Amino acid sequence: MATNLFVGNLPYGMDSDAMGQLFAQAGSVVLAKVISDKYSGRSRGFGFVEMSSAEETAKAIQMFNNYDVEGRKLVVNEARPREERPRQ
C-alpha cells in the first residue's frame, strides 16, 4: 500500500524531479509533486511524495524530517486527507 507524505519548507528552486531523486534514497518513489502557484508557476514551497510501502514511508520521515536542503530544514510527515472547502 502506497503512503502519501507532505513535504514542507522546500527550497523554491526545487522541482518535482529533484524531490523524487532525494526521496529515492529512502526507497521506491511512486510519485513526487512540488505544488506551484497557478498564476506565476513558482513553487509554493511544499509538495507531496508517495512511497510504495509503509516501511519506506517511515524511513523517509526518519531520514528527511529536519533534513537540511539549501539552508532550509524540510518538514516531512504523513499527509492528511484534503479537506473540502466551501465554494464561493
Kindly report, residue by residue over 27-79, the tens digit of the pLDDT: 999 999 999 999 999 999 999 999 999 999 999 999 999 999 999 999 999 99
pTM of the model: 0.89
The pair phi, psi for residue 13, each rounded to 5°, is -85, -5
User: Is domain 3-78 classified as CATH 3.30.70.330?
Assistant: yes
Cα 37 to the chain's mean position, in Å? 16
More confidently predicted of 40 and 88: 40
Distance CA(23)–CA(64), nearest Å, equals 8
The three-state secondary structure class of 57 is helix
Contacts of residue 75, defined as CB under 8 A and 6 or more positions apart, other chains included, come to 6, 7, 8, 9, 65, 66
